[in-house]
């Protein structure tokens, strides 16, 4: 605050009557009048002029006194009225609804914003119980909440920290609010003031975001499912159609080789045989990478075992799989088995690409209808920065997929160094079934 402003404020508060000079002059004149009175009392009968002067000056003092007192009373009243009016205009111009109730919880103040929010006029609600503004099922709770707040002696606090609070408009519409409450005593009576805000729009926007997040998750799951189906179809065709054609070609070639003379023609045919073998191997690999048909034909346990062996062979990282109570895996739903299989596949790819590990361990266990999978390595370990990489979608995709099925994924540094990834998913995919 600037010095000038402060001066303005003190000049408003102070009055010239309280100025030290005025007080000194007042005291001096009172002393003079008192002296005159004493002199008149002692020798007044002998000096009529003294008596006259004393009577006049006494009347003057009494007159001035009455004038000052009346003036003080009037300005004090004006001042209270002015500050009252200022307070009312502040309360009325507030954007939030402000409601004050007395100890019996009857409304004694209701500002303009409250009129708009509740669609009620001030004169309709003053003196009315606060309960009328609260939906029926919350009334008892609300009353005891305010009473217990009164007992705490705390001056103010936010209401409804955990749950959404609801209020009731005149036309019976319920709406969500955000509110705080405060208490104060005036002339021995206790008052509670509730300041509240209608959060209908915000809540609607929040619900909208939640719904669109849910929709996006649903959409991403559908897209993944469609991709998986497409891959399965191509894998099957590669395996069945192309596989059979290649086998037929191989048979024809060996028929031809038996009949060829031992010259460069036979050599060429032998080369073709080697190439055909390579083609068969490549086709099998491509088909298996697309979608292990084993997953559909033999189940998750066998497919995962094959995946681990194949990984060990291809990457040179020694890798073991341990299956605990794996019989229960027969109950697994198709979407869960695909998600788990793809997660293990991505984890093993990560180990090959990032970990620099010598060993890896995969464990499958089923307990109380939930699959627990652990993939651990003894490599360089994972850092929080790795998990936050913007362009890395492997772990993120896994987490999304597992969450969609009502499960959880956890990636952390393993106790013996390296990285440990843990997945927990209900065998039949909790949330997915619930949402469907
Ligand atoms: N087993 C692991 N050991 C060490 N670092 C890992 C391991 N797995 C993942 N990471 C780190 O986490 C990052 C994110 O992995 P991911 O989401 O699969 O994305 P991407 O493999 O495409 O980089 C990787 O870039 C890597 O730095
Ligand atoms: Mg990856």
**Residue to substitute in 390, 392, 393 for testing ligand 1 pocket (most ligand atoms within 8 angstroms of CB):** 392
Give the pLDDT confidence score for residue 15 in this predicted structure: 59
Of 18-22, 101-105, 211-215, minimum mean pLDDT range: 18-22
Q: How far, in Å, is the centroid of ligand 2 from the Cα of 345?
A: 10
Give the pLDDT confidence score for residue 19 in this predicted structure: 81
For residue 428 and ligand 1, the question of a CB distance below 6 A is answered with no
Q: How far, in Å, is the centroid of ligand 1 from the Cα of 272?
A: 41
Give the pLDDT confidence score for residue 12 in this predicted structure: 41
Q: What is the mean pLDDT of the chain?
A: 88
- Is it the case that residue 7 has pLDDT exceeding 50? no
Q: Which of 309, 318, 320, 314 is nearest to 379 (CA)?
A: 318
For residue 386 and ligand 1, the question of a CB distance below 6 A is answered with yes
- Is it the case that residue 102 has pLDDT exceeding 90? yes
Higher-pLDDT residue of 135 and 430 is 135
Higher-pLDDT residue of 350 and 151 is 350
Of 160-164, 293-297, 410-414, minimum mean pLDDT range: 160-164
For residue 345 and ligand 1, the question of a CB distance below 6 A is answered with no
Q: How far, in Å, is the centroid of ligand 2 from the Cα of 387?
A: 11
Residues, Cβ < 5 Å to ion ligand 2: 350, 394
Q: How far, in Å, is the centroid of ligand 2 from the Cα of 305?
A: 20
Q: For residue range 60-82, what is the model confidence (pLDDT) as tens digits?
A: 888 888 998 898 888 888 888 88
Q: Residue 105, Cβ neighbours under 10 Å: how many?
A: 15
Superfamily of domain 94-198: PAS domain (3.30.450.20)
Q: For residue range 202-254, what is the model confidence (pLDDT) as tens digits?
A: 999 999 999 999 999 899 889 988 998 999 899 989 988 999 999 999 999 99
Q: How confident is the model at residue 52 (pLDDT cuts 50, 70, 90)?
A: confident
Q: Average of pLDDT values for 394-414?
A: 92
Give the pLDDT confidence score for residue 11 in this predicted structure: 38
**Residue to substitute in 382, 400, 421 for testing ligand 1 pocket (most ligand atoms within 8 angstroms of CB):** 382
Q: Average of pLDDT values for 164-178?
A: 93
Closest-lying ligand 1 atom to the alpha carbon of residue 395: 17
Q: Which ligand is nearest to the CA of 411?
A: 1
For the chain, give every domain's residue range: 3-91, 94-198, 203-291, 294-436
185: its two tokens: 């005593």
User: What is the four-CA torsion angle of 397, 399, 403, 406, rounded to 10 degrees?
Assistant: 120
Closest residue by Cα to atom 12, ligand 1, is: 386
Q: How far, in Å, is the centroid of ligand 2 from the Cα of 225?
A: 20
For residue 339 and ligand 1, the question of a CB distance below 6 A is answered with no
Give the pLDDT confidence score for residue 159 in this predicted structure: 84
For residue 350 and ligand 1, the question of a CB distance below 6 A is answered with yes
The reply to whether CATH 3.30.565.10 applies to domain 294-436 is yes
For residue 111 and ligand 1, the question of a CB distance below 6 A is answered with no
Give the pLDDT confidence score for residue 16 in this predicted structure: 66
The rounded percent of the chain whose pLDDT value lies above 70 is 95
């Amino acid at each position: 605050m600037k010095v000038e402003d402060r001066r303005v404020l003190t000049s408003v508060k102070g009055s010239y009557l309280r100025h030290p000079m005025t007080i000194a002059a007042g005291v001096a004149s009172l002393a003079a009048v008192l002296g005159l009175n004493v002199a008149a009392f002692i020798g007044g009968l002998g000096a009529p002029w003294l008596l006259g002067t004393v009577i006049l000056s006494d009347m003057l003092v009494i007159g001035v006194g009455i004038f000052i007192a009346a003036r003080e009373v009037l300005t004090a009243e004006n001042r209270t009225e002015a500050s009252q009016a200022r307070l009312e205009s502040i309360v009325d111009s507030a954007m939030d609804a402000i409601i004050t109730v007395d100890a019996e919880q009857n409304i004694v103040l209701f500002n303009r914003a409250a009129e708009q929010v509740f669609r009620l006029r001030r004169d309709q609600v003053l003196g009315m119980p606060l309960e009328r503004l609260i939906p029926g099922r919350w009334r008892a709770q609300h009353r005891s909440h305010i009473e217990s707040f009164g007992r705490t002696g705390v001056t103010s606090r936010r209401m409804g920290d955990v749950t959404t609070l609801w209020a009731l408009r005149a036309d019976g519409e319920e709406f969500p609010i955000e509110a705080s409450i405060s208490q104060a005593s005036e002339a021995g009576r206790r008052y509670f003031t509730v300041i509240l805000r209608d959060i209908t729009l915000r809540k609607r926007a929040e619900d909208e975001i939640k719904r669109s997040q849910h929709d996006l998750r649903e959409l991403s799951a559908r897209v993944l499912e469609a991709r998986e189906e497409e891959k399965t179809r191509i894998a099957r065709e590669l395996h069945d159609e192309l596989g059979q054609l290649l086998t037929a070609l191989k048979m024809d070639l060996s028929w031809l080789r038996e009949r060829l003379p031992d010259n460069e023609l036979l050599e060429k045919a032998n080369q073709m045989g080697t190439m055909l073998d390579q083609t068969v191997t490549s086709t099998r690999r491509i088909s298996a990478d697309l979608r292990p048909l084993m997953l559909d034909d033999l189940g998750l346990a066998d497919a995962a075992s094959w995946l681990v062996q194949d990984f060990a062979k291809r990457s040179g990282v020694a890798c073991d799989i341990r299956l605990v109570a794996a019989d229960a895996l027969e109950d697994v739903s198709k979407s869960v088995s695909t998600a788990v299989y793809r997660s293990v596949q991505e984890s093993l790819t990560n180990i090959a690409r990032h970990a620099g590990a010598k060993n890896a361990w995969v464990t499958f266990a089923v307990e109380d209808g939930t699959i627990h999978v652990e993939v651990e390595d003894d490599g360089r370990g994972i850092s929080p920065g790795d998990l936050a990489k913007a362009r890395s979608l492997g772990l993120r995709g896994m987490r999304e997929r597992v969450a969609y099925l009502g499960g959880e994924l956890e990636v952390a540094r393993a106790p013996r160094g390296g990285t440990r990834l843990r997945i927990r998913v209900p065998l039949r995919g909790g949330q997915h079934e619930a949402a469907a």
